[in-house]
Structure 1
């Protein structure tokens, strides 16, 4: 399904005040959705951390009194989380920062984009169970 602006419509949307006090709700929602998709316990914990890091990247850019929009796109063995905030002059997160390095290491894919008044960070994670055993890294 697509939304009225032509972008894919999220399967789940969560709108929270753009305040770090709500980070636990973001992590819990992300973990619950991953569990419904039969992600492994390790994958779920990685997603919790990735959701926290993504939130930590977007929240400092948020205008006071605005919302953090969390959009979840669900597919068997795959979860994409898109976090966005309204920002006066959004900047793309520093790809050399510790937070971005953690995020990009944990996620299958991580991207950041800006518009005139929004910062969006997207994180995609594929379950270890969805990846053929011979294609996974040894370990």
Structure 2
């Protein structure tokens, strides 16, 4: 039985107003969780950039007054993140955009789910130490 560390209760949820002014809070939490997983400094910086891009995509689709809900999944050597908001009429993701290219280059996995009422970006990143 695991009583502490990654695996004991390795999920974290953060709810913020869907406003770019709170992006720094999300980046800081992400960096702290990645450090807990022993990601390298370079991995943490890549993850901070990726999270910024994911949040920007979600915030662009947010309804006025909506929340940005971010759920983190921590596993040994991997951090997963789901950012979601309410969106009455989300647009189709632009998979040719610079932001999407940055996101998919820096992460192990990136997925967008745009359905009436909701817009979600999911990313996952493995530590470069685990990829060797």
Considering the TM-score relative to the shorter chain, is it more than 0.5?
yes
CA–CA distance in structure 1, aligned partners of residues 81 and 93 of structure 2: 17
Q: CA offset at residue 131 of structure 1?
A: 1.5
Return structure 1 stretches of 4+ with deviation > 2 angstroms.
none
Structure 2 gaps, min length 5? 1-8
TM normalised by structure 2 equals: 0.90
1:21 is matched with: 21
Q: Paired residue for 1:68?
A: 68
Structure 2 distance, partners of 1:62, 1:10, is 27
Contact 1:92–1:112 (Cα < 8 Å) also in 2 = no
Are the equivalent residues in 1 in contact too, given 2:10–2:75 (CA < 8 A)? no
- Report how many aligned residue pairs link the two structures: 124
- Find the residue that maps to 2:68 and give its secondary structure: strand
Is 1:82–2:111 an aligned residue pair? no
Unaligned runs of 5+ in 1: 1-8, 133-139
CA–CA distance in structure 2, aligned partners of residues 33 and 50 of structure 1: 14
Report deviation, 1:10.
Answer: 7.3
- Show CA shifts across 1:13-51 (max 9, x none): 000000000000010000000000000000000000000
Partner of 1:97: 97
CA contact 2:91–2:114 (8 Å) conserved in 1: yes
Q: 1:130: how far off?
A: 1.1
TM-score by length of 1: 0.86
Output the aligned Cα RMSD.
Answer: 1.3
